[in-house]
Amino acid sequence: MVPLRDENPVKITPYVTYGLIALNVLIFLYELTLSPPELVEFFRDWAVVPQELTISFEVGVSAFSLHEWMTLITSQFLHAGFLHLAGNMLYLWIFGNNVEEQLGRLRFLIFYLMCGMLAVFTQWFFNLGSTIPSLGASGAIAGVMGAYIFRFPTVKILTLVPIGIFLTTFRIPAILYLGIWFLQQAFYGFASLEVPMTVGMEGGGIAYWAHAGGFVFGAILGPIFGLFDRQLENEGASGPEEAG
């Protein structure tokens, strides 16, 4: 199932959501200018390498540790291919603007980055010794989805669904669409406990624990950051609406 849009207009211009999408795209375009060896080095420098992150906690504060801790943020803006980028940005575009409107721009940005960091830690917990660079925005976006499902459970998601060789669309409530998505991530996460995994991609691997962890932390942090504080303000606001 592929989400196309939600039926949940906003009354603001979601500059942070647009800015995050633009930054991810620009960094991916830079990645395309690199040769394969340069790209591998770039990922090793700015993605999270679980084994090195583990070492950084053992050695304490140092230039090495500070760099590794910085990758908890920089890794969120790296992608391993066009489909990896496109899928993440589609979900951010659909669900990010509404959560940004509820939290406010600055709080949304902090919330987004924190969800991404906590998602990395969730996956890292199961891969302490991995030497493969881990990357992607999906953990942070999962946090946005975790907040969305609690704030807008009944909003319909226009979803592209394959039925045999045909494609059709259904309007699926967010609580059902995102609930199924979360259960899939948790199920595959448990099923992969005996399989080497990484936060980013390893031979096409998917960071199920990062997705599930980001989703849970998003659901927890959303209300703390004020997910429900702007309800009356938004319902009474007027002005142009932006779909999506």
Q: Is residue 234 part of a domain?
A: no
Q: Is residue 116 part of a domain?
A: yes
Tell me the whole-structure pTM to 2 decimals.
0.86
Q: Is residue 244 part of a domain?
A: no
pLDDT tens column, 69-109: 999 999 999 998 898 999 999 999 999 999 999 999 999 99
Percent of the chain predicted with pLDDT > 90: 59
pLDDT tens column, 141-187: 999 999 999 999 999 999 988 888 888 999 999 999 898 877 877 76
Q: Is residue 242 part of a domain?
A: no
Q: Is residue 27 part of a domain?
A: yes
Q: Which residue range(s) make up the domain with 19? A: 2-229
Q: What share of the chain is helix, strand, coil (3-state, %, to 5)?
A: 60, 10, 25
Quote the CA–CA distance of 215 and 146 in Å, as a whole number.
4
Q: Is residue 87 part of a domain?
A: yes
Q: Is residue 238 part of a domain?
A: no
CATH number at residue 14: 1.20.1540.10
How open is the CA angle 119-124-147, to the nearest 5 degrees?
10
Instruction: Point out the least confidently predicted range of 39-43, 78-82, 236-240.
Output: 236-240
Domain count, the chain: 1
Structure tokens, 97: 């603007």
Q: Is residue 34 part of a domain?
A: yes
